[in-house]
Chain A
Amino acid sequence: MSGHDCESCPVAAELAPMGMQVGAIDRVIALAGNPNTGKSTLFNALTGLHQHTGNWPGKTVTRAEGGFAWNDVRYKIVDLPGTYSLLSASQDEEVARDFILFGQPHAVIVVTDASALERNLNLALQVLEITDRVVVAVNLMDEARRKGIDVDTRSLSRDLGVPVVPIVARTGEGMPALLSAVDGVSSGAISTSPLRVTGTPEFEHAVRELMTQVEAAAPGVPNSRWLAIRLLDGDARVEQALRTGELARMVSRQQQRDVRFSKQIALQGAQ
Chain B
Amino acid sequence: MSDRVIETVPPDADAVLARARELRRQLSGGFREEAVKSLYAEAERVARRAVSQGGDMRAIAFEQRIDRLVTSPWFGLPIMLVLLAIVFWLTIAGANVPSALLAQGLFWIEAQAVTLFDAAGVPWWITGFLWHGVYRGLAWVVSVMLPPMAIFFPLFTVFEDLGYLPRVAFNLDFLFRRAGAHGKQALTMAMGFGCNAAGVIATRIIDSPRERLVAILTNNFVPCNGRFPTLIMLGTIFVGASFAPAFASVAAAGAVVGVVILGIGFTLLMSWLLSRTILRGEASAFTLELPPYRRPNIGRIFYTSLIDRTLFVLYRAMWTAAPAGAVIWLLANIRWGDRTLAAISAGWLDPLGHAIGLDGVILLTYVIAIPANEIVVPTLVMAYMGTGMMTEMEGLGDLRRLLVDQQGWTTLTAVNLMLFSLLHNPCATTILTIYKETLSAKWATVGALLPLGTAFLVCFLTATLARAFGWGG
Which residues of A approach B to under 8 Å, CB–CB? Answer: 34-36, 50, 52-59, 61, 84, 87, 90-92, 113, 115-119, 121-122, 124-126, 143, 146-153, 155-156, 159-160, 170, 195, 197-200, 202-203, 206, 209-210, 213-214, 216-218, 228-229, 231-234, 239, 242-245, 247-249, 252-253, 258, 260-261
Contact = CB atoms under 8 A, between A and B. Distances in A.
A156 B205 contact: no
Given A35-B291, A148-B54, A206 B40 contact: no
Contacts of A214: 16
Contact of A55 (B19, B35, B165): B165
Contacts, number: 195
B406 interface: no
24 contacts: A53-B304, A54-B165, A55-B294, A119-B43, A125-B43, A143-B294, A148-B53, A148-B59, A151-B50, A156-B46, A156-B49, A195-B42, A197-B39, A202-B28, A206-B27, A210-B16, A210-B20, A217-B13, A232-B23, A233-B32, A244-B9, A245-B7, A248-B8, A249-B6
Contact of B56 (A84, A147, A202): A147
B297 interface: yes
A206 B38 contact: no
B28 A245 contact: no
B187 to A, nearest CB: 6
Nearest to A145: B54
Given A149-B54, A218-B10, A249-B5, A84 B42 contact: no
Nearest to A61: B204
Nearest to A87: B36
A83 to B, nearest CB: 11
B23 A209 contact: yes
Contact of A153 (B20, B35, B50, B287): B50
Interface string B375-416: 000000000000000000000000000000000000000000
Contacts of B3: 249, 252-253
B51 interface: yes
Contact of B12 (A91, A126, A151, A216): A216
B282 interface: no
A231 B169 contact: no
Contacts of B165: 54-56
Contact of A57 (B36, B44, B53, B288): B288
A213 B19 CA distance: 9
A-B pairs with the 7 shortest C-beta distances? A148-B54, A58-B205, A118-B47, A148-B56, A121-B43, A36-B291, A231-B20
Interface in B140-175: 160-161, 163, 165-166, 169
Specify the main secondary structure of chain A where it touches its partner.
helix
A232 B27 contact: yes
Contacts of B49: 152, 155-156, 159
A122 B27 contact: no
Contacts of B34: 199-200, 203
Contacts of A150: 51-54
Contact of B160 (A54, A116, A209): A54
Nearest to A207: B23
A52 B308 contact: yes
B17 A243 contact: yes
Contacts of B44: 118
B319 interface: no
Specify the main secondary structure of chain B where it touches its partner.
helix
A217 B39 contact: no
Interface string B239-280: 000000000000000000000000000000000000000000
Given A118-B43, A146-B59, A248-B5, 10 more contacts: A56-B184, A146-B56, A155-B49, A170-B297, A195-B46, A199-B35, A213-B19, A217-B12, A245-B5, A258-B1
Contacts of B31: 199-200, 203, 232
Nearest to A230: B20
A151 B51 contact: yes
A260 B304 CA distance: 31
A58 B161 CA distance: 15
A90 B207 contact: yes
B338 interface: no
A53 to B, nearest CB: 8
Given A35-B289, A52-B304, A203-B31, A197 B38 contact: yes
B52 A245 contact: no
Nearest to B309: A52
Interface string B201-218: 110110100000000000
B440 interface: no
B453 interface: no
A217 B10 contact: yes
A243 B304 CA distance: 45
A160 B292 CA distance: 25
Given A122-B43, A156-B46, A159-B50, A202 B17 contact: no
Nearest to A52: B308
Nearest to A217: B10
A222 B13 CA distance: 17
B29 to A, nearest CB: 12
B123 interface: no
Contacts of A261: 1
B55 interface: yes
Contact of A210 (B8, B23, B60, B202): B23
Contacts of B59: 146-148
A252 B5 CA distance: 8
Contacts of B297: 170
B112 interface: no
Interface string B286-300: 011101101001000
B42 A147 contact: no
Pick from A35, A126, A148, A249 the residue with the most CB of B within 10 Å.
A148
Given A52-B308, A203-B31, A234-B24, A121 B53 contact: no
B348 interface: no
Interface in B357-384: none
A50 to B, nearest CB: 7
A58 B169 CA distance: 14
B39 A152 contact: no
A58 B204 contact: yes
Nearest to A57: B205
Contact of B161 (A55, A92, A206, A239): A55
B39 to A, nearest CB: 5
A261 B3 CA distance: 12
